[in-house]
């Protein structure tokens, strides 16, 4: 019986920790305005295109 209690407590603690992490990430995500998000997405896209071009050139 004691093992089941410990497993249940561990499950509850894992759920609480996951919820706290999700809430923290949501607060960080909402901190950006639309312009900042757009700039970050464009920068990530440019990096991906550059990596793809570099990989393509290395294959030649």
Q: Where are the domains of the chain?
A: 2-59
pLDDT band at 30 (very low <50, low <70, confident <90, very high): confident
Scan for tokens 């030649």, then name that residue. Answer: 60
pLDDT band at 11 (very low <50, low <70, confident <90, very high): very high
Q: Residue 38 pLDDT more than 90?
A: yes
pLDDT band at 32 (very low <50, low <70, confident <90, very high): confident
Contacts of 40 (CB under 8 A, 6+ apart): 32
Q: What is the mean pLDDT of the chain?
A: 89
Instruction: Give me the pLDDT at residue 51, please.
Output: 93
Q: Residue 44 pLDDT more than 80?
A: yes
């Amino acid at each position: 019986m004691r093992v089941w209690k410990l497993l249940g407590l561990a499950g509850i603690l894992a759920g609480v920790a996951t919820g706290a992490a999700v809430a923290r990430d949501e607060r960080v995500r909402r901190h950006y305005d639309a312009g900042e998000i757009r700039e970050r997405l464009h920068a990530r896209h440019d990096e991906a295109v550059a990596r793809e071009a570099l990989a393509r050139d290395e294959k030649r």
